Amino acid sequence: MDRKPETGNRVLVETEDGTFTARSSLFDECYHSTRDGALKESLKKHVEPAFSLIGNRQSGNGKRGLTILDICFGLGYNTLATLYHLDREGLDIPVHILSPEFDEALVRSLVDFPYPEVFAPYRNVIESVAEKGRYENGKIRIDVIFGDAREFLNTTDAVFDIVYQDAFSPKKNPLLWTKEYFADLACHLTPEAVVTTYSSATPVRMGMVENGLYVYEPPAEGVRSGTIASPSPDLPLKPIDMALKKVRNPSAAPLDDKDFK
């Protein structure tokens, strides 16, 4: 893989699928798995599994469509991959994506990011989000909320059909993986919402289960496994037996806010 500096402080990293991610100097971690690939990870771990499970379901606000929470916006891959998936599959679904992001300077710089060619049709989306933090065309609405994701969850009244739980890893950004975080998140989910994440860590899954979410093995699509979670006990996926995992590892526990403040 090729890794090279770009203008300013940003470091680009080429991933295994030939698409680029970047490395955060603050978290000392890439925004995507370099092994799975930036585009492939967004599509196979988040967008495709979520849409295969949610379908044409009504959104939480009662209107036909979907409301999506993208935690966090980062380089925008999950949001752009959602638009790509909608167009590729011919899905005529109104979608509202809300995405907190504390690094406003990063978002402002994305007009210069070397996105994959499949995102070329969304150049106007990238430019609008970078300039104004939002985009809307009548069917698609994107709002980037500059600030802390936890604060956003504590102040919004939005209810989500899909959540891309794609924050930096629990080791690097634990406050977006604690049981208290998942308690806040669970309050904003529709009864059959789908939460996707790349993490398969037992403490993460325990934090989800402690807050009323069921956890499932995601469909295998050529990427390393993560977790699917939902308030629904009836997703057509293999459930994960967390009670058995607790028996096998009695010391396992969900992450707790008090340990990181």
Q: Is the separation of the CB atoms in 223 and 41 below 8 Å? A: yes
Residue 66 forms beta bridges with which residues? 95
Task: Give the DSSP letter string of 24-60.
Answer: ETTTTEESS-TTT-HHHHIIIIIIHHHHHHHTTPBPT
The burial class, CB within 10 Å (0-12 / 13-18 / 19+), for 40 is buried
The runs of H, that is alpha helices, within 6-162 are 38-41, 48-54, 77-89, 104-108, 123-132, 149-155
Residue 43 maps to which CATH number?
3.40.50.150
Reduce the DSSP state of residue 2 to 3 states and report it. coil
Within-domain flag for 166: yes
The count of residues in the chain is: 261
DSSP type of residue 8: T
**Cβ-based neighbour number of residue 146 at 10 Å:** 15
Write the CB contacts of 2 (distance below 8 Å, at least 6 apart in sequence).
Answer: 13, 14
Question: What is the Cα Rg of the chain in Å?
Answer: 18
Reduce the DSSP state of residue 149 to 3 states and report it. helix
Within-domain flag for 84: yes
pLDDT in tens, 157-166: 999 999 999 9
Q: Is the separation of the CB atoms in 173 and 224 below 8 Å? A: no
Total structural domains within the chain: 1
Within-domain flag for 4: no
The predicted pLDDT at position 57 comes to 52
**Cβ-based neighbour number of residue 203 at 10 Å:** 18
Within-domain flag for 8: no
Distances (CA, A) of 247 to 28, 204, 238, 244: 34, 17, 19, 5
Residue 170 has pLDDT above 70, yes or no: yes
Within-domain flag for 9: no
For residue 62, the enclosing domain spans 39-260
The mean per-residue pLDDT over the stretch 144-159 comes to 97
- Average pLDDT of the chain, as a whole number: 91
pLDDT in tens, 36-75: 999 999 999 999 999 999 864 544 444 569 999 999 999 9
Euclidean distance between CA atoms 13 and 1, whole angstroms: 7
The mean per-residue pLDDT over the stretch 67-93 comes to 97
Q: Which of 22-36, 43-57, 173-187 has the highest mean pLDDT?
A: 173-187
Residue 29 forms beta bridges with which residues? 24
Euclidean distance between CA atoms 216 and 205, whole angstroms: 9
Q: By 3-state DSSP, what share of the chain in percent is helix, strand and coil, each rounded to 5?
A: 35, 25, 40
Within-domain flag for 212: yes
pTM for the model stands at: 0.92
